[in-house]
Structure 1
């Protein structure tokens, strides 16, 4: 049996799909499973033993090159090779976990026999499938994706998140901590202030700085700040702190980040890809929610804490807002009180 999974991005959504991969592998242990993913999220599934082959789409890079009119011949050659690889196996089942036009086109192009997707018609994607299941937006994304596995006969119990982290990534992550004066064997807190899904998910810089200082002063924990391409935000947060924080902006791969989070006592973050990585490796998350809905995309599991202001307009799912009041109403004291719950050995939490 040949199975093709189409989940291109984003980081958090790819993490959410890992339990479905595990459920399908358990149901069909002899199947050949291929996963199509975009370059930015590759690290999440690279090396996963439940996957037989990974096809990497350079869609964003290809689109950027073509728009700029450079390397056109090389780009078109890469696209042709990708499509040839997409079609070189006779897929029995192709599953579109995204339900968007960009993913549905790949489902159709794969020439698979059973093209499975949601019936929601988002971006007209359902036109490309020959079999559909209901999309229950009242469920968390993890459980919603698992509906595909159930439809195909799987009976998943506890969702299984598996992130392969090679030894060199573990060594590198711990070296970054030690070089910055943070003992990976002792409790430390991670602040991950970035979210790239809109300004409505962002907490105030001065509050992240104040939180970092109070964690250090009142709990005695070092603070580590992580993120990529923050546009100066992370530097401003670190500079505003009265205590020293280890700034690891742009210094980790996703696999190194996963191990760093695994070592942390707690990760404080808005709704973001790193939030889901931290939850997947079993580290408690204090998640700050405003415009998005934690029932759909909150950190998965019972050990986490979600903080939200619970305004009548939230969740609005907007990417911009004149006030961002739902995030401004989250105080430093509220977040620090949540962090305090995780003081103590990890194994007894």
Structure 2
């Protein structure tokens, strides 16, 4: 078949979903190296994808602005104008294929607005997004891991990359920034683990006491620092863990970009994380993590690949996929000691692998 010249990837949010879609980019460019690939995504995803060497262009979907305009009928003329501007920009891309791996009404509408010859996506998705498509793939199995599902969509076009890779597009500049950042913390690569406590769903949270106690154990028994990472919204959580650990944890929440976080993750000895976007970013950067799961299913959205450890309690109510839960037994019954044991195992495995590399 003739290689497509221009493809639009439609994956708007959230951060974890964007990271899990990176193997699609790798598959497309591995199969058709000369193909021009653009990606439309939200504001957060754009900060990770901007300047990516495999992408021709990143188009920012202004979700918040469009949402604000849609709420007020008096502002609908402005909304129509914004959509018209977005439509013109998409049509200027002259895409042969629009690949919708989001599966929502807005992503289906974007596929339509792109005027691509082929508008591809899964049937049976939420919000009727398939009505905008002219090539509907069979409904996917929700228990199939998201990374594999996205690659299934790429494979339907003929894109196959063999080994699954997460091309983050990090540069030597990103690495240097991370090294300088660590120097400011008086740390070296391999001398710390990262803690990722924040998540949008309250039901996914582990306890502040658990993270605090873990940081103390890691410092006392492994001689490693615990660096708490997250967005500005996670700053109260990071400070609480710092205080609860009596300084054993280092709080840098709100102080890193996504690219800096990815670079730091690649230099850590291990990580402990809830089910959240930065978990996928850390795993994509090559960090083996201990992932704490309760209300969600790790076989669907867990850290992808070998070497990770998932801790999950076998309860009848789990996974419930509820954002809110008054009891959160599935998360609160996870003890700091069992998490520490998992961290200790991953740190030991990393040291063994490093020694093997030195011998080779």
The worse-fitting range, judged by mean Cα deviation, of 131-140 and 270-279 is 131-140
Correspondence 1:174 to 2:179: yes
Change (3 A) 1:102 1:73: closer
Secondary structure of the 1:117 match is strand
Shift of 1:72: 9.4
Quote the residue 1:214 is aligned against. Answer: 217
Quote the residue 2:266 is aligned against. Answer: 262
Q: How far, CA to CA, are the matches of 2:228 and 2:10 in structure 1? A: 32
Contact between 2:69 and 2:78, CA under 8 Å: does it hold in 1?
A: no
Q: Where do residues 1-349 of structure 1 align in structure 2 (5 Å cutoff)? A: 1-64=5-68, 67=71, 79-134=83-138, 135-183=140-188, 185-196=189-200, 198-228=201-231, 229-230=233-234, 232-344=236-348, 345=351, 346-347=353-354, 348=356
Would you tell me which structure has more helix in proportion to its own residues? 2
Contact between 1:114 and 1:131, CA under 8 Å: does it hold in 2?
A: yes
Secondary structure of the 1:153 match is coil
Change (3 A) 1:267 1:70: farther
Q: How far, CA to CA, are the matches of 1:69 and 1:22 in structure 2? A: 42
Q: TM-score, normalised by structure 1?
A: 0.93
Shift of 1:69: 10
Structure 1 residue runs without a partner (length 5+): none
Q: How far, CA to CA, are the matches of 1:69 and 1:208 in structure 2? A: 46
Kindly provide the CA deviation profile for residues 87-140 of structure 1, in whole angstroms up to 9, marking residues without a partner as x.
Answer: 113221111001011111101111111111111131111111111112122211
Contact between 2:235 and 2:253, CA under 8 Å: does it hold in 1?
A: no
Contact between 1:165 and 1:256, CA under 8 Å: does it hold in 2?
A: no
Kindly provide the CA deviation profile for residues 187-231 of structure 1, in whole angstroms up to 9, marking residues without a partner as x.
Answer: 2111110011x1111100111000011100111101111011126
Change (3 A) 1:70 1:269: farther
Kindly provide the CA deviation profile for residues 29-83 of structure 1, in whole angstroms up to 9, marking residues without a partner as x.
Answer: 2222111111111132222222112111122134346758999998876554332
Q: How far, CA to CA, are the matches of 2:74 and 2:100 in structure 1? A: 31
Secondary structure of the 1:98 match is coil
Contact between 1:262 and 1:278, CA under 8 Å: does it hold in 2?
A: yes
Q: How far, CA to CA, are the matches of 1:30 and 1:232 in structure 2? A: 46
Secondary structure of the 1:136 match is coil
Q: How far, CA to CA, are the matches of 1:43 and 1:263 in structure 2? A: 21
Q: How far, CA to CA, are the matches of 1:68 and 1:252 in structure 2? A: 35
Q: How far, CA to CA, are the matches of 1:223 and 1:288 in structure 2? A: 17
Q: How far, CA to CA, are the matches of 2:346 and 2:119 in structure 1? A: 44
The worse-fitting range, judged by mean Cα deviation, of 100-109 and 40-49 is 40-49
Shift of 1:318: 0.7
Q: How far, CA to CA, are the matches of 1:170 and 1:155 in structure 2? A: 30
Structure 2 residue runs without a partner (length 5+): none
Change (3 A) 1:234 1:71: farther
Count of residue pairs brought into register by the alignment: 347
The worse-fitting range, judged by mean Cα deviation, of 42-51 and 72-81 is 72-81
Secondary structure of the 1:168 match is helix
The worse-fitting range, judged by mean Cα deviation, of 224-233 and 103-112 is 224-233
Change (3 A) 1:212 1:52: same
